[in-house]
Chains A and B, each alone.
Chain A
Amino acid sequence: MALTPYQTQFKQRMKRAIKLRAKADQKARRYAQLLADAIGAAEDAATQMDALNQLYNVDVSTYTLLTQALHAEGSKQVLLGHLGDSTPGEEVVLFNQVPDANGGQLLPLNPLFGEVVTGTPITPPAPPQKVPAKSVAVSTTPVSDESAGVANTAEA
């Protein structure tokens, strides 16, 4: 069964967003590992500085301000902890259940998903703020968005 335009559009958009998610994961994974290594290197350097300070009776700071803060905050443990918790790579995306709605028609194009919007952009209509005429006269307190939404869906 061929997919409707609506389904195809969903697939395209979701694929793109998933790719972005996977790319961010990949990058975060790589940089987190490297940063943990760099903090490790700073700790090694600090060990050497410490030994030198003792051997020669001098007092040179063992860390730089940045690496000292990273070391003291336990950043390495946090970084490696999450790396250990999660498995690498992209989650598998299954498209066997592509939603179908909107009569199979495309939703308006949206630059958020990297789509080129031609013509006048379609702005979604603001949810109607219907206030029952009777209650206006009785209560002066404004009807909250939530209850207004419930009332609208009940009427629709």
Chain B
Amino acid sequence: MALNGYQLQYKRRMKKALALRAKADRRARILVARLISALSQGETAANHIARINALYGTTMSLRTDLVDGYRLSGTAAALDQIATVSLGGAPEAVFVNLPANAGDAMLPPDADLD
């Protein structure tokens, strides 16, 4: 059975929204990993500076404000936990239950959804 206009419109709109959702997921997943590694690099630098401070009796600050802020907030650990518990990738979209109503007519166009 061919899909009517209403159903086609739903399918198109949903596909677009799902693609956005999946894209944001991919971006977030990559960036969470990168941010965690950058913050761990900051900790490595802090270790080096601490060693130098101890060796030469200096008082250089170990971290920049930004890295220290994330460290105090436990951001790296929180992000790591979030990334670990969530499954990889977006849930699959299933189109089996296409709603058909409104007399099969398409809904009015929508700038966001179309």
Residues of A within 8 A of B (CB): 10, 13-14, 16-18, 20-25, 27-29, 31-32, 34-35, 37-39, 41-42, 44-49, 51-52, 55-58, 60-70, 73, 75, 78-79, 81-83, 85-87, 91, 93, 99, 101, 107, 110, 112-113
CB-CB nearest in chain A for B21: A45
Task: Write 14 A-B pairs (CB below 8 A) sorted by A numbering.
Answer: A17-B48, A20-B48, A24-B38, A24-B44, A32-B70, A38-B28, A49-B21, A65-B86, A65-B91, A66-B86, A69-B86, A78-B75, A86-B65, A110-B51
B56 in contact with A38 (CB, 8 Å): no
When C-beta atoms are compared, the residue in chain A nearest to B61 turns out to be: A91
Contact: B38 with A42, CB < 8 Å? Answer: no
Chain B binding surface SS class: helix
- Chain B hits for A63, CB < 8 A: 21
Select which of B27, B55, B90 is within 8 A of A107 by beta carbon: B55
List chain A residues, Cβ under 8 A from B31.
31, 34-35, 38
The residue in chain B whose Cβ has the minimal distance to the Cβ of A27 is: B38
Cβ distance B98 to chain A, nearest Cβ, rounded Å: 9
Once the chains are docked, how many angstroms separate the CA of A57 from the CA of B16?
17
A64 touches B86 (CB 8 A): yes
Measured CB to CB, the closest approach of chain B to A3, in angstroms, equals 13
Interchain CA distance A35-B82 in the complex, whole Å: 13
